[in-house]
Structure 1
Amino acid sequence: MLASRRVVLQLAAASALFVALPVVTPALAVDPAQLVQNTAQQVIDIIKTKTGAARQAAILGVLQTSFDMPAMGRSALGTHWNQATEAERTRFLKAVATAEAKAYSERFGQYGGQTLTVGKVTPRANGVTIVDSRLNQTSGQPIKLEWEIRNDRITDVKVEGVSMVMTRRSDFNSYIQNNGGKVEPLVRELEARAAQ
């Protein structure tokens, strides 16, 4: 049951990124709701017009430009970040972005008619803004998405209340613990996934 729920959440996260990965540079700052809404169409265009390596490269570009991958990576690695060498950290951040781009590129075979509806925008402490939205499916119930934005970049996405950064942290921590408590095996695994 838990494994089944995890698969559903991962697929929902993949769908969320498919529809709403922003392609906006920090220099083109807009209000958070507009950022999420406007970029949904841009990502759909990537999926409609690119395949294979070109799609993966375009998604990687979006991840590197629109998401705060260094902050997300540090958070996902948790306490292991401080244990990692500077070289391991650099390799980890590169490998995790490339592995994620590859995974999302493969999961999105084609556009399935999903749309994103932006709802409430809530400013929080420390410059964080939360944007509530719903991913509307062509069939089935909408999926609730909550975007965390700081400095015009996405720092987390919660799918039905489950943080994708915290899900990665749990996965990475488990992998590290099962491989001698070291970060290096995780980095090698992510590099291997990215290279496949």
Structure 2
Amino acid sequence: MKDSKLAPRLLTIFMTVIVATIALGWPPLRAQTTGGAAARIQTYYQELMPTIQQAGRLSVRERDKRFAPAITGAFDIPTMTRLAVGPAWTSFSPPQQAAVREAFTRFIVADYASQINNYSGESFVVDPQTTPESRGGGEIVKTKILQPSGRAVIINYLVRGGRVVDVYLNGTISDLATRRDEFGSIVSSGGADGLIKRLQERTQSLLSK
């Protein structure tokens, strides 16, 4: 499996939304939220903004360090890690599970920190009305990026217990499901240790940019 299999996908688009707020000024929301899961997503962006506004003067490693508290606070990383690994998770020893969680956390934060680019003209809309998620519980927070051309990119978030556990591009494509396919190939050939090694390699590559 090539390293590009772990390249950013939804995270790139997720960061596009965040960086777009710089040009528009905070808050860039068409509808203000007052509580619940939608407000949690809004707060998350607010927490990232000070670092984003200084991104041009910061190295990837500096952004990584500053982003970490907001990202790990907003995302349920233990649940996301378990779901991304899939059935093989139960075959990992407790130390391996802990190491995979740590490697996955570091990868996600480094991925975000490396995805800062210049955007202008986009607007970010959060729907204050969430939708119950019937299969596993939680709420779907619906958002979209409105581009100057008029094109809208839909990104939905699954929030449980006040924290994000999945991201859906075009409203339906699960980031975790995609990662599960990727991780499955790595685990099949190298086990938990192979997955840890690959995630660590990708993280170091991102931080060295």
Residue matched to 2:24:
none
The equivalent position to 1:130 in structure 2, one of 136, 140, 143, is 140
User: Is 2:112 aligned against 1:107?
Assistant: no
Q: 1:164 Cα deviation (Å)? A: 0.7
User: 2:46 & 2:119 partners in 1: Cα distance?
Assistant: 11
User: 2:119 & 2:67 partners in 1: Cα distance?
Assistant: 14
Residue matched to 1:88:
96
- Asked if structure 2 preserves the Cα contact closer than 8 Å seen for 1:60 and 1:101, the reply is yes
Change (3 A) 1:130 1:162: same
The equivalent position to 1:40 in structure 2, one of 24, 45, 53, is 45
Q: 1:18 Cα deviation (Å)? A: 5.1
- Asked if structure 1 preserves the Cα contact closer than 8 Å seen for 2:15 and 2:116, the reply is no
Consecutive aligned runs of 4 or more in structure 1 exceeding 6 Å deviation: none
Deviations 1:114-157 (A, max 9, x none): 43201241123465011111022345622101111111111111
Change (3 A) 1:18 1:61: farther
The amino acid across from 2:73 in the alignment is T
User: Is 2:67 aligned against 1:62?
Assistant: no
- Asked if structure 1 preserves the Cα contact closer than 8 Å seen for 2:11 and 2:111, the reply is no
User: Is 2:182 aligned against 1:171?
Assistant: yes
Change (3 A) 1:169 1:40: same
Q: 1:10 Cα deviation (Å)? A: 4.7
- Asked if structure 2 preserves the Cα contact closer than 8 Å seen for 1:115 and 1:135, the reply is yes
The equivalent position to 2:17 in structure 1, one of 5, 19, 35, is 19
State the superposition RMSD in angstroms.
Answer: 2.7
User: 2:177 & 2:69 partners in 1: Cα distance?
Assistant: 23
Structure 1 residue runs of 5 or longer lacking an equivalent are: 1-5, 22-28
Structure 2 residue runs of 5 or longer lacking an equivalent are: 20-33
- Asked if structure 2 preserves the Cα contact closer than 8 Å seen for 1:20 and 1:37, the reply is no
Change (3 A) 1:67 1:155: same
Q: 1:107 Cα deviation (Å)? A: 1.7
The equivalent position to 1:184 in structure 2, one of 176, 193, 204, is 193
Change (3 A) 1:58 1:194: same
Q: 1:38 Cα deviation (Å)? A: 3.9
Change (3 A) 1:104 1:140: farther
User: 2:92 & 2:153 partners in 1: Cα distance?
Assistant: 36
User: 2:162 & 2:15 partners in 1: Cα distance?
Assistant: 16
Query: What SS does the corresponding residue of 2:114 show, helix, strand or coil?
Result: helix
The equivalent position to 1:76 in structure 2, one of 58, 74, 84, is 84
- Asked if structure 2 preserves the Cα contact closer than 8 Å seen for 1:18 and 1:44, the reply is no
Instruction: Give the fraction of aligned pairs with identical amino acids, expressed as a percent.
Output: 23
Query: What SS does the corresponding residue of 1:186 show, helix, strand or coil?
Result: helix
User: 1:35 & 1:18 partners in 2: Cα distance?
Assistant: 18
Change (3 A) 1:54 1:170: same
Change (3 A) 1:138 1:48: farther
Query: What SS does the corresponding residue of 1:78 show, helix, strand or coil?
Result: helix
User: 1:45 & 1:19 partners in 2: Cα distance?
Assistant: 15
User: 1:110 & 1:186 partners in 2: Cα distance?
Assistant: 32
User: 1:48 & 1:60 partners in 2: Cα distance?
Assistant: 16
Residue matched to 1:195:
204
